């Protein structure tokens, strides 16, 4: 009988909840209506879980969104989920292999050149059990790239949308930084770009940026996109276009991460996703993430 044979099942959803931003505080810092953002986040999740019809969602919020956002408001039926014959990218993370070294976090920041306060990929740490039978649990968290993303449901400008390859994208040229998507995301995977920089600590830090979603934006400068917009992990879409894996996958020292096409039944990720150890975070919400964990 092992040391932890009687341990309780780890509640990974609870670990995520501890890391979520304070929704009201987040919205109070936005120039847009706090109550509208919080209510939409709540009801978007109802739409995704099937507890509220999309038509009723639009009836409730269409008038308020028009009043709040004016010409920025782009009405529609919700997330643009298109199906194609190409790959559907997915990531599988084996939690038994993750040693919590944070190499994925560091490589992600270096690859995507994210500013202070923004990390697309983090490793949440939690101590589980009761003394003396305590163990450290590591839970890496990129964007979940949900099939039914709540972030897209609440986006008033339709800047957030679902690509054919399964990645949830942000058109930073359409994003107005209202932050409704930040409070709607049940995984805390989105951040607002306040315009901070490492320039004072490292000369030339603003000279190189990452071509997120295939868009080369040149130097990072005050008042220039993506500053003032919302940002998140894209599975390193620019690397995928070059035939490379996401930086976090390539650098994982424990080989805990696997990346591939979930539409291919013979791919490693498809086979691992069918493992009895496989699970998704907050499955009861119905978002159906394309990041799958092995417990």
**Global confidence as pTM:** 0.92
Cβ–Cβ under 8 Å, residues 144 and 290 = yes
**292 vs 95: CA distance, rounded Å:** 10
pLDDT value of residue 75? 75
For residue 133, the number of C-alpha atoms closer than 13 Å in the C-beta half-sphere is 9
pLDDT value of residue 139? 98
Q: What is the average pLDDT across 49-60?
A: 95
Give the pair of three-digit tokens for residue 132: 């003396």
Cβ–Cβ under 8 Å, residues 184 and 193 = no
pLDDT at 130 over 50: yes
pLDDT value of residue 242? 94
The 10s digit of each residue's pLDDT in 226-239 is 999 999 999 999 99
Q: What is the average pLDDT across 6-27?
A: 91
Q: What is the average pLDDT across 76-90?
A: 70
Cβ–Cβ under 8 Å, residues 153 and 78 = yes
Q: What is the average pLDDT across 257-286?
A: 97
Q: What is the average pLDDT across 249-273?
A: 97
Cβ–Cβ under 8 Å, residues 293 and 286 = no
* Cα angle 61, 66, 72; round to 5: 120
Cβ–Cβ under 8 Å, residues 88 and 289 = no
pLDDT bracket for residue 76 (50, 70, 90):
low
Token match 């894209």: residue?
Answer: 234
pLDDT bracket for residue 84 (50, 70, 90):
low
Q: What is the 3-state secondary structure (H, E, C) of the chain?
A: CCCCCCCCCCCHHHHHHHHCCCHHHHHHCCCCCHHHHHHHHHHHHHHHHCCCCHHHHHHHHHHHHHHHHHHHCCCCCCCCCCCCCCCCEEEEEECCCCCCCCHHHHHHHHHHCCCCCCCCCEEEEEEEEECCEEEEEEEEECCCCCCCCHHHHHCCCCCEEECCCCCEEECCCCCCCCCHHHHHCCCCCCEECCCCCCCCCCCCCCCCCCCHHHCCCCCCCCCCCCCCCEECCCCCHHHHHCCCCCHHHHHCCCCCEEEEECCCCCCHHHHHHCCCCEECCCHHHCCCCCEEEEC
**271 vs 263: CA distance, rounded Å:** 11
pLDDT at 1 over 70: no
pLDDT value of residue 83? 62
Q: How far is CA 283 from CA 26, 82, 106, in A?
A: 25, 22, 28
pLDDT bracket for residue 4 (50, 70, 90):
very low
Q: What is the average pLDDT across 29-36?
A: 97
pLDDT at 146 over 70: yes
* Cα angle 80, 265, 250; round to 5: 80
Q: Which residue has the higher pLDDT, 170 or 78?
A: 170
pLDDT at 203 over 60: yes
Q: How far is CA 16 from CA 8, 20, 92, 180, 236, in A?
A: 17, 7, 17, 19, 22
Give the pair of three-digit tokens for residue 6: 């009687």
Give the pair of three-digit tokens for residue 268: 């490693």
- What is the average pLDDT value for the chain, to the nearest integer? 93
Q: What is the average pLDDT across 160-180?
A: 96
Q: What is the average pLDDT across 213-229?
A: 93
pLDDT bracket for residue 2 (50, 70, 90):
very low
Q: What is the average pLDDT across 274-283?
A: 97
Give the pair of three-digit tokens for residue 180: 């409704």
Q: What is the average pLDDT across 158-171?
A: 95
pLDDT at 7 over 80: no
Percentage of the chain modeled with pLDDT above 90: 86
pLDDT at 278 over 60: yes
pLDDT value of residue 81? 54
Instruction: Specify the length of the chain in residues.
Output: 295
Q: What is the average pLDDT across 24-44?
A: 97
Give the pair of three-digit tokens for residue 9: 């099942």
Q: What is the average pLDDT across 268-294?
A: 97
Q: What is the average pLDDT across 279-290?
A: 97
């Amino acid at each position: 009988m092992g040391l932890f044979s009687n341990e309780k099942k780890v509640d990974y959803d609870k670990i995520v909840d501890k890391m979520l931003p304070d929704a009201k505080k987040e919205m109070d810092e936005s120039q847009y209506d706090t109550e509208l953002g919080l209510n939409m986040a709540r009801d978007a999740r109802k739409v995704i879980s099937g507890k509220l019809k999309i038509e009723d969602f639009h009836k409730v919020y269409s008038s308020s969104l028009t009043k709040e956002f004016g010409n920025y408001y782009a009405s529609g039926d919700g997330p643009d989920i298109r199906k194609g014959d190409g790959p559907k990218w997915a990531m599988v993370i084996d939690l038994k292999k993750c040693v919590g070294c944070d190499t994925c976090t560091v490589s992600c920041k270096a690859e995507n050149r994210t500013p202070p306060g923004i990390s697309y990929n983090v490793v949440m740490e939690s101590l589980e059990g009761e003394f003396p039978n305590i163990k450290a649990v590591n839970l890496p968290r990129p964007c979940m790239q949900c099939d039914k993303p709540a972030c897209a449901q609440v986006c008033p400008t339709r800047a957030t949308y679902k690509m054919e390859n399964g990645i949830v994208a942000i058109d930073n040229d359409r994003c107005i930084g209202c932050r409704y998507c930040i409070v709607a995301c049940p995984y805390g995977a989105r951040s607002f770009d306040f315009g901070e920089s490492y320039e004072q600590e490292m000369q030339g830090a603003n000279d190189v940026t990452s071509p997120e979603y295939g868009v080369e934006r040149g130097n990072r400068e005050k008042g220039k996109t993506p500053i003032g917009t919302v940002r998140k992990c894209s599975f390193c879409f620019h690397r995928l276009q070059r035939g490379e894996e996401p930086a976090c996958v390539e650098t994982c020292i424990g080989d805990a991460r696997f990346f591939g096409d979930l539409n291919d039944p013979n791919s490693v990720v498809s086979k691992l996703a069918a493992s009895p150890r496989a699970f998704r975070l907050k499955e009861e919400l119905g978002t159906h993430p394309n990041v799958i964990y092995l417990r």
